[in-house]
């Protein structure tokens, strides 16, 4: 298993919830040379394939149910919620599996260039840790969601139905090419198989979002440190008795150091964009449909079991929160790169106080920063609060259309 390390901070740790990427077979492996490492890598790859296949099979069962219920809007929208969530994270699992090398490179560059050790910059490090609390909240919400999907059918089976009932509930609406009710053992195995597939789906969702948020949060922290260095540099005055030429050389050396760090941060942000933008496109497209369909279920379903009602409430709240946190972090990244360099006071520099090379390099940095760093959904949409409101607006449009179709059918 690949364990990124940095000599600057031996205490470096990824967020706890990201451990699920390791358990689901999505974490990159270290480059090994021994036979034991090779065998471990083979076993880990097989486990990763099992997770992907189990999720794919469960989605097929759900899709079969959708086809069987074609024409029943209530049943289709209810089943689509879990089917679309499964499809989203099936794409995520396949993407992570196919891009192990790129993922490993991003992790290594993060610990080398981006990670902020607390003993070096305590205030910025603590701010970054506080911002990660929102991802813990998202983790709790999504964990509650999958637990409700896995446990509520068992509660219904034990307290409402009977263990010998002909039709027993499953975590999601599914149709099988076999009879899972033939024996209790068949039902138990099928239930465990599909329930664990759902656990893999939800844990992949919050673990990958957390690692992306982890990267973005500390990248923003690095931009804040860079801005502090720029402000200090621009406010410096030559000490009494210091040669002006020597002072200008020191200024130029500091600016070149800042420019080099700026380029490294920009390079890392571009790597994030290239790696995550395909899955973010799928996320944005499916989120609009999910919010619409869950809202439709809450508004139109009658005589709904109280557990199902609570489940859908948690579902719509967690889906909206997940989307808001992603878009909010993308917006924060844009804000940290768009304005500060231009507002550093470059226009007040006197020709005698700095040399020509210093002014040229500073203006070039300002020119580069005019195009803010951003994370996109495969170039179709930028992760920002503006795009969050646009997605909600799209969901409301879908909801209105779906409601009108449903009302027409009822008449």
For the stretch 329-338, pLDDT in tens is 999 998 887 5
Those residues with Cβ within 8 angstroms of residue 359's Cβ, 6 or more apart along the chain or in another chain:
346, 349, 351
- Answer whether residue 228 shows pLDDT above 90: no
Work out the mean pLDDT of the chain and round it to a whole number. 87
- Asked whether residue 8 is assigned to any structural domain, the reply reads no
Q: How far is CA 314 from the centre of its chain?
A: 19
Burial class (CB in 10 A: 0-12, 13-18, 19+), 127: middle
Coil, helix or strand for 376? strand
* pLDDT number for residue 389: 94
Q: Give the CB-side neighbour count of residue 164, counting CA atoms within 13 A.
A: 0
- Asked whether 61 and 173 are in contact (CB, 8 A), the reply is no
- Any residues with CB less than 8 A from the CB of 247 and at least 6 apart, and which? 238, 239
pLDDT tens track for 58-92: 999 999 999 998 878 888 888 898 999 999 999 99
- pLDDT class for 2, splitting at 50, 70, 90? confident
Q: How far apart are CA 75 and CA 259, in angstroms?
A: 57
- The residue that leads in pLDDT, 118 or 344, is 118
Structure-token match 């024996």, residue found:
183
- Determine which helix (DSSP H) or strand (DSSP E) holds 29, and give its type and residue range: none
Instruction: Check: CB of residue 361 under 8 Å from CB of residue 256.
Output: yes
Are 279 and 91 a contacting pair, CB within 8 Å?
yes
pLDDT above 90: residue 174 = yes
| 8-state DSSP, 371 | S
Q: Specify if 75 maps to a domain.
A: yes
Cβ contacts of residue 192 below 8 Å, gap of 6+? none
Residue 9 lies in a domain: no
Total domains present in the chain:
1
The answer to whether residue 24 is domain-embedded is yes
User: Cβ–Cβ contacts within 10 Å for residue 360, how many?
Assistant: 10
Distances (CA, A) of 162 to 167, 169, 176, 299: 10, 11, 21, 30
- Is the pLDDT at 57 greater than 90? The verdict is yes
Bridge partners (DSSP) of residue 308 are none
pTM of the model as a whole: 0.91
User: What's the pLDDT at 344?
Assistant: 63
Q: Which two tokens stand for residue 277?
A: 């933008």
Give domain status of residue 217, yes or no.
yes
Per-residue pLDDT at 268 exceeds 80? yes
Residues 6 or more apart from 182 whose CB is under 8 A from it? none
Contact criterion met (CB below 8 Å) for 218 and 106: no
Tokens matching residue 282: 């799928």
> Band of the pLDDT at 370, cuts 50, 70, 90?
confident
35: Cβ contacts below 8 Å, ≥ 6 apart: none
Instruction: Return the SS3 of 382.
Output: strand
Integer Cα distance of 411 and 404 in angstroms: 11
* DSSP state letter for 243: -
Residue 48 domain boundaries: 16-410
Query: Are 373 and 337 spatial neighbours (Cβ–Cβ below 8 Å)?
Result: yes
- Please check whether residue 361 lies inside any domain of the structure: yes
165 within a domain of the structure (yes/no): yes
- Identify whether 176 is part of a domain: yes
Section 208-231 average pLDDT? 92
376 bridge partner residues: 382
Looking up tokens 């390079």 gives 267
């Amino acid at each position: 298993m690949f364990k990124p390390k940095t000599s600057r901070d031996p205490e470096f740790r990824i967020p706890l919830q990201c451990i699920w990427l390791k358990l689901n077979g999505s974490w990159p492996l270290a480059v090994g040379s021994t036979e034991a490492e090779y065998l471990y890598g083979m076993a880990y790859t097989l486990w990763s394939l099992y997770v992907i296949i189990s999720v794919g099979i469960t989605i097929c069962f759900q899709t079969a149910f959708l086809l069987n219920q074609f024409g029943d809007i209530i049943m289709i929208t209810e089943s689509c919620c879990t089917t679309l969530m499964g499809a989203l994270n099936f794409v995520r699992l396949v993407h992570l599996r196919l891009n192990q090398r790129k993922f490993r490179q991003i992790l290594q560059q993060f610990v080398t260039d981006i990670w902020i050790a607390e003993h070096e910059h305590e205030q910025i490090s603590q701010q970054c840790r506080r911002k990660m609390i929102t991802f813990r909240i998202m983790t709790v919400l999504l964990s509650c969601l999958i637990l409700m999907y896995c446990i509520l059918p068992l509660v219904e089976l034990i307290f409402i139905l009977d263990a010998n009932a002909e039709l027993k509930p499953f975590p999601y609406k599914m149709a099988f090419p076999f009879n899972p009710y033939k024996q209790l053992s068949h039902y138990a195995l099928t239930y465990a198989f599909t329930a664990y597939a759902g656990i893999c789906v939800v844990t992949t969702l919050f673990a990958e979002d957390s690692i992306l948020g982890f990267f973005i949060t500390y990248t923003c922290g690095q931009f804040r440190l860079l801005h502090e260095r720029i402000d200090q540099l621009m406010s410096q005055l030559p000490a009494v008795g210091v040669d002006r030429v020597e002072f200008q050389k020191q200024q130029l050396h500091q600016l070149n150091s800042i420019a080099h760090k700026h380029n490294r941060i920009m390079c890392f942000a571009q790597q994030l964009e290239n790696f995550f933008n395909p899955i973010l496109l799928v996320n944005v497209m499916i989120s609009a449909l999910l919010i619409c369909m869950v809202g439709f279920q809450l508004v139109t379903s009658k005589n709904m079991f109280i557990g199902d009602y609570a489940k859908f409430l948690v579902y719509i709240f967690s889906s909206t929160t997940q989307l808001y946190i992603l878009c909010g972090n993308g917006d924060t990244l844009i804000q940290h790169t768009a304005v500060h360099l231009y507002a550093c006071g470059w226009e007040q520099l006197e020709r005698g106080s700095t040399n020509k090379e210093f002014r040229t390099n500073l203006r070039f940095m300002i020119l580069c920063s005019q195009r803010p760093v951003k994370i996109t959904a495969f170039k179709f949409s930028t992760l920002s609060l503006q795009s969050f409101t646009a997605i909600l607006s799209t969901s409301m449009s879908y909801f209105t259309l779906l409601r009108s179709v449903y009302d027409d059918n009822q008449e």
